[in-house]
Amino acid sequence: MPAPDLADQLSISEQSMRQQLRRLREAIESLNVTMGIPMDQDTFIQTRERAGYRLNPCCREIAVADILAVSPVAGTP
């Protein structure tokens, strides 16, 4: 969706929308470090040159438990 159209849909200014997107990407970057999961700025919301933004079609909703390594219980074979 083109950036001006997306901002209109969200009822905010285009500058505000871009700032919120930047903040989201910064939050994702800190998760990358904390959880050790490689993520870049297009992991969730992709910037499409001359086309605007879109949700990354490869995204899937998962729980944190799905990505944490299962640790074996002591004494269990």
Q: How many CB atoms lie within 10 A of CB 7?
A: 19
Tell whether 60 is covered by a domain: yes
- By residue count, the chain amounts to 77
Model pLDDT for residues 12-53, shown as the tens digit of each residue: 999 998 898 888 888 777 777 777 777 777 777 888 777 788
Domain-located, residue 24: yes
Residue 48: which residues within 8 A CB-CB, separation 6 or more? 54
pLDDT number for residue 24: 82
Compute how many other C-beta atoms are within 10 angstroms of the C-beta atom of residue 6: 18
- Number of domains comprising the chain: 1
Which residues constitute the domain of residue 60?
3-67
Q: How far apart are CA 14 and CA 12, in angstroms?
A: 7
Is 77 contained in some domain? no
Decide if 74 is inside a domain: no
Q: Is residue 75 part of a domain?
A: no
Q: Is residue 76 part of a domain?
A: no
pTM of the model: 0.57
